[in-house]
Amino acid sequence: MGEGRCYLRLVSGVSRSVVSAVELTRLAMAFGAIADLLLIVILSRSDPQYHYMPVASMPLLQAFVAATVTAVGLFSFAAALNDLLDVRHDRVFSPGRPIAAGRISALQAMSLALASLLLALVGVISFGPGGIFVAILVAGGSLFYNATAKHIPAVGLLTIGGIHAAHMLIPNDQFTFTLPACLALTHATAIATIIHVIQSKRPALSRRSSWTVVLGWLACVATMGWFGYSRSSDGFWPASTPFWGPYIPLVAMAACVPVIHRKIRRATSPAVAAEKVARYGALWQALYAASWLFACGEPVWGAGALVFAGLGFGTMTLLKEFAGSTGHPLAFRG
């Protein structure tokens, strides 16, 4: 009986440590980031103009593994860094977070963040010097956001959007079809803005800051669109795009609005509402990936992306249930 109890305590302790690490790194929300990179891998390999790029010449499985490892590494690095630098705030306003609650020490969190960054760098090596440069840029952007930009609402919100857009270029830094990156920037900026308002974060988003975000977003989208159009022989869309293709991403974007609105209305508190917006906003990126694949005439890959999105939602649910059984319900923060 004594040995059995010791074993159960050991298993329980390991389970709690795993749950705390998953909560710290937001791993359940990484499916969207993975889908973004897999989308660019597939589109780059289907376009002969990128035949010289590492993403097109390497085996497909290697490209998928490299993209997944890079996405998970960068996502976990940014999430762990966020909690590490926010520990004072969390001890007051979010005492249930892993570091604030004492389930993970600051040293362990720092080690996890550095390990995640190293993992991302190992994965991105396959994409060549261009991919490494963009990955370093994304990691630097995450550090800039967490250390400085988030204290200036307009700058912080635009930085989040810019990080998401740049992240998509890691597999192919020469990718000229920039509309998916524009949508990623728009979606990430909108979700971050909603969370900022719901949680009444300080400093508050003033009218001047709101206009700065809107104008900054317009400038970024216009610049990215012009860059893609000027460097692509196909214009805004690949030549393989069916006539109805452009409407599919628009439908996916429109469908996100009532879902987010419903989650906010049904939430029992601003904190819960922000958590749900962050969760569904992150996982909706996988649905965007599917919509772009269908739009670009890749229905088989599009169906696969839908399955991947379903896997993401299922994993998120299972992790929350498993976390609840350990006595530490899983909380997601944007």
Give the pLDDT confidence of 307-333 residue by residue, as tens digits.
999 998 888 777 665 554 444 433 434
Residue 21 confidence class, pLDDT cut points 50, 70, 90: low
Helix locations, the chain, DSSP H: 2-25, 31-46, 54-57, 60-85, 87-93, 106-124, 128-147, 153-167, 179-198, 207-231, 247-266, 270-295, 299-325
Say what the pTM is: 0.88
Q: Identify the residue with better confidence: 15 or 97.
A: 97
Residue 146: CB atoms within 10 Å: 20
What is the pLDDT at residue 97?
Answer: 76
Q: Report pLDDT for 172.
A: 95
For 28-63, what is each residue's pLDDT tens digit? 789 999 999 999 999 999 988 899 999 999 999 999
Instruction: Please give the residue range of the domain that contains residue 209.
Output: 2-325
Q: Residue 50 carries which DSSP code?
A: G
CA triple 181-182-185, angle to 5 deg: 85
333 found inside a domain: no
Other Cβ atoms within 10 Å of 15 Cβ, number: 16
pLDDT at 73 over 50: yes
pLDDT for 330:
39
Q: How many domains does the chain have?
A: 1
- Is residue 334 a part of any domain in this protein? no
The crossing angle, in degrees rounded to 10, of helices 128-147 and 60-85 is 20
Question: Lowest mean pLDDT: which of 24-38, 130-144, 179-193?
Answer: 24-38
Provide the pLDDT confidence category of residue 2 given band limits of 50, 70 and 90. low
- pLDDT tens digit sequence for 79-98: 889 888 888 777 776 777 77
What's the CA gap between 101 and 122, in Å, rounded? 32
The answer to whether position 331 is within a domain reads: no
The verdict on residue 308 lying in a domain is yes
CA 277 – CA 192 distance, rounded (Å): 9
pLDDT at 68 over 90: yes
- Asked whether residue 145 is domain-assigned, the answer is yes
Torsion of CA 109, 115, 120, 125, to 10 degrees: 160
Mean pLDDT of the chain: 86
Q: Give domain status of residue 148, yes or no.
A: yes
Within-domain flag for 314? yes
Structure tokens at 281: 């906003």
Residue 284 has pLDDT above 60, yes or no: yes
CB 312 within 8 Å of CB 31 = yes
Position 280 in a domain: yes
Q: Which CATH number do you get for residue 112? A: 1.10.357.140
